[in-house]
Amino acid sequence: MEYLVVDSGAIIRGYGLELYGRAKTIVTVSEVMAEIRDSKSREILAKLPFPIEERVPSQESIKKVFDFARKTGDYAALSKTDLKLIALTFMLSCETNEKFIGNNNVLSLQEQMKKNNSETEEKKIVEQN
């Protein structure tokens, strides 16, 4: 697996070492790193034998995930950080062509995003000619 997106719970609960080797790159959003405030969790984070890369989900991914969460009724139950983590996971799964782990609706969303990107590229090619 190319990427593993992590939430603060994995670090705070001391599961950081269990992440080692599960993906080429461990990533998260800056909001998650800001949630790791207590000294014990900071110490666990500092001792990890790998870096946790901070990434920013694209605006397109954020919009799609926020819209999808509103449609499913999950928006009110998810924090902004949770939504950004989902958007980051979605964005990275599209970039790497790896399947986004989720239900068929999310996979459909991924396929729709790819279709929209293809249509945009086709439109650019036509406009250039």
The predicted model scores a pTM of: 0.74
State which amino acid sits at residue 78: L
pLDDT in tens, 68-115: 999 989 999 999 999 999 999 999 988 888 765 544 444 445 455 555
Question: Tokens in use for 99?
Answer: 């399947």
Higher pLDDT, 121 or 14: 14
Spell out the long-range contacts of 114-118 with Cβ–Cβ below 8 A and sequence spacing 24 or more.
none
